[in-house]
Chain A
Amino acid sequence: MITNSQTSKDTPALKVASLTKTYASGTEALKGVSLEVPEGDFFALLGPNGAGKTTIIGIVAGLVNKTSGKVSVFEHDIDKEHERAKTYIGLVGQEVNFNPFEKPLDIVVNQGGYYGIPRQIALPRAKKILTDLGLGDKMDQIAFGLSGGMKRRLMIARALIHEPQFLILDEPTAGVDVELRRSMWDYLRELNQTGVTILLTTHYLEEAEQLCKHVAIINKGEIVASGAMKDILAMHDKNESAKAKYRGSTLEEVFLQLTKEK
């Protein structure tokens, strides 16, 4: 079984330096992105559609090959210590990507197997996580019949089976109703309080404002702002908002100011 070594509080959970990605089609998705996610943080990576958020996540999680740059997870370089770096990461992707003809319990337990967790350990752990996420009575039904919100929670359960220290959530609440979204927030907050570092991408900016301590805003493959949430919120230009007629949260206003077409 692969286990994570102890990390010190000074170790960044994620360090990305000069990261570039050009797809085979010629699309330049990332143009030298650098960012750092402190250990224990609840970090928001925000940006409009096609800004490069999912590409960054894909590279960190090993689903996309980078063109150049350096990425390390708890100081383990993803090129040199590929397998070690992955033991820290739990990924909840944007799209539902489990086999819908399997049972939720099997999906989560099998995921544990990919991390070398013996079945006798994975089974009770999976049952507890699924129950905590409100899927206790669905764990032995075929996943095909789950609602959209349940499928999202199943993906979170699957990402947690190996007790990762760094959880990446790519739009986890997309299409989820308000009540369920709030309960997912509570769950993620509790998880963060236990020491799990969380990187969140979302289009619900009030969600990021409520949950996250730090934020980076990416636009067209470049980081346009990064820092503590309160500092980003302080960038709010009230004159600009007045001109544009204030319609959303403060973060939403800042986001629009930073990412709007010039």
Chain B
Amino acid sequence: MRKDVVRMFRIWGQTFLPSVVTSVLYFSVFGTVLGSRIGEMQGVDYIIFVVPGLVMLAIVTNAYANSSFTFFQSKFFMRSIDEILVSPTPPWLMIAGFITGGVIRGVLVGAFVLVISVFFTNLELTVASIAIISFFAILTAMVFALAGLVNGVYAKTIDAINIVPTFVLAPLVYLGGIFYSVHVLPPWWQAITYANPLFYLINGFRYGFLGQADISPAISAGVLIALIVILVGINWYLIKKGLGLKQ
């Protein structure tokens, strides 16, 4: 974990800066330019409505990318993963080490995006709302760091690392309700949205910001915790058996 944190700060231009720049563009285009024409959604200004989704987008992509790429490069480029595999480090500790780096990067970048939102909105947060946001931020980062780790462990080529974020993660995030409320969708699309795990994360997060969401925050938290348990189990099995790691 220490190695990973040192690395992510050393190459901050690759790890932290891109999401910050992207979020400035999102706030400018979707919030200020388009938002002024859209007006309100769920009773709040559109630019405020999209803040939770954009913070979460930063957390999701960074937590995922960090653990998937860190693990993949350690097993693919220099086989430095062997340093850990020959040691008595148990699988649960390997999982904890790799996802902690992802969680730290995801939450830090999410915090940067939140700070940027202050310059574009008049968002007011209470201590209670910050606590809820932090809770959902950490759980979300854990889910996607774990998902990224599964990808990193199992990937056999660098393409496999890039395909999942592009063709699976991005559609799930954008169709999960970052830019709209589920209530503006036709019933059949609403039904599909309820099957998207990202919808629950975004709404839990939105509850922390706005005090309202499409579904109960308890359901969001329950879905997140269930996903964490499932993903920890998958990672543990893959690492214990050495699938994708050992010959």
Contacts and interface: CB of A to CB of B under 8 A. Distances in A.
Q: Do A and B actually bind? A: yes
Nearest to A114: B87
B75 to A, nearest CB: 10
Interface of A is mostly: loop
A113 interface: yes
A84 interface: yes
B247 interface: yes
Contacts of B87: 86, 111, 114-115, 162
Contacts of A2: 88
B171 interface: no
Interface string B1-36: 011000000000000000000000000000000000
Interface of B is mostly: loop
A70 to B, nearest CB: 18
A114 B3 CA distance: 12
B78 A64 contact: no
Nearest to B73: A99
Contacts of A93: 82
Nearest to A91: B86
| Residue of B83, B89, B90 ringed by the most chain A CB atoms within 10 A | B83
Contacts of B78: 96-100
B162 interface: no
A87 B241 CA distance: 20
A89 B85 CA distance: 12
A89 B86 contact: yes
Contacts of B90: 83
Given A2-B88, A83-B90, A86-B88, A65 B247 contact: yes
A98 B80 contact: yes
Given A83-B88, A86-B88, A97 B247 contact: no
A23 interface: yes
Interface stretch (A55-63, A187-195, A204-212): A55-63
B182 to A, nearest CB: 45
A2 B93 CA distance: 14
Contacts of B83: 97-98, 110-111, 114, 158
Given A95-B79, A97-B82, A98-B78, A63 B246 contact: yes
B2 A110 contact: yes
Given A65-B242, A99-B78, A110-B2, A23 B84 contact: no
Interface string B216-247: 00000000000000000000000001100011
Contacts of B89: 114
A64 B55 CA distance: 42
A100 B241 CA distance: 28
Contact of A114 (B74, B79, B84): B84
| Residue of A61, A64, A114 ringed by the most chain B CB atoms within 10 A | A114
A102 to B, nearest CB: 8
Nearest to A81: B88
Contacts of A83: 88, 90
Contacts of B82: 63, 91, 93, 97
A58 B247 contact: yes
28 contacts: A23-B247, A62-B85, A63-B85, A63-B247, A64-B246, A65-B242, A65-B246, A65-B247, A82-B88, A83-B88, A84-B88, A86-B87, A91-B82, A91-B86, A93-B82, A97-B79, A97-B83, A98-B83, A99-B74, A102-B3, A110-B83, A111-B83, A111-B87, A114-B83, A114-B87, A114-B89, A115-B88, A158-B83
Given A99-B78, A115-B87, 18 more contacts: A24-B247, A63-B82, A64-B246, A65-B246, A65-B247, A83-B90, A86-B87, A91-B82, A91-B86, A95-B79, A98-B80, A99-B74, A99-B80, A111-B87, A113-B2, A114-B88, A116-B88, A162-B87
List the 3 closest pairs (A to B, CB-CB), nearest first. Answer: A114-B87, A83-B88, A97-B79
